[in-house]
Amino acid sequence: GAVVSQHPSRVICKSGTSVKIECRSLDFQATTMFWYRQFPKKSLMLMATSNEGSKATYEQGVEKDKFLINHASLTLSTLTVTSAHPEDSSFYICSASVLPGTSGSYEQFFGPGTRLTVL
């Protein structure tokens, strides 16, 4: 099956620093990658959609200057939380999708998530 990895799995940082999270598709080329944020006991909130080689599309209310997304290749996307603050503490999950066959559906494969704690 399609495997997506995230690194790191956990990160603790001081307020004001920047943190980079990597999302990799290990055994397939992903045309699109997605970044989600999940608050405790809550559902996933889509932050942005990124396609290789182009700018990410951010959802309403997500600060693009704070959450920088780079999709440099078909197997790697990065999310950088700039000038992190305690309210940025959350569980960040990425997913990757591929072009479908004839179904028209783009299935997403999820990474294991990254727990960010900002002190």
Contacting positions for another protein (CB under 8 A)? 4, 6, 32, 34, 41-44, 46, 49, 91, 93, 95, 97, 103-113, 115
* Least gap, CB of 83 to another protein (angstroms): 26
Question: Between the CA of residue 1 and those of 13, 31, 61, 112, what are the distances in Å?
Answer: 34, 17, 34, 15
**Nearest CB to another protein, comparing residues 47 and 81:** 47
Beta bridge partners of 39: none
Tell me the sheet residues that pair with 2.
none
Give the nearer residue to another protein in terms of CB position, either 28 or 91: 91
Smallest distance from another protein to CB 99, Å: 9
Instruction: Give the separation between CA 69 and CA 20, rounded to whole angstroms.
Output: 9
How many helices (H) and strands (E) in the chain? 0, 11
Shortest spacing between CB 109 and another protein, in angstroms: 8
Pick the closer one to another protein by CB: 57 or 80: 57
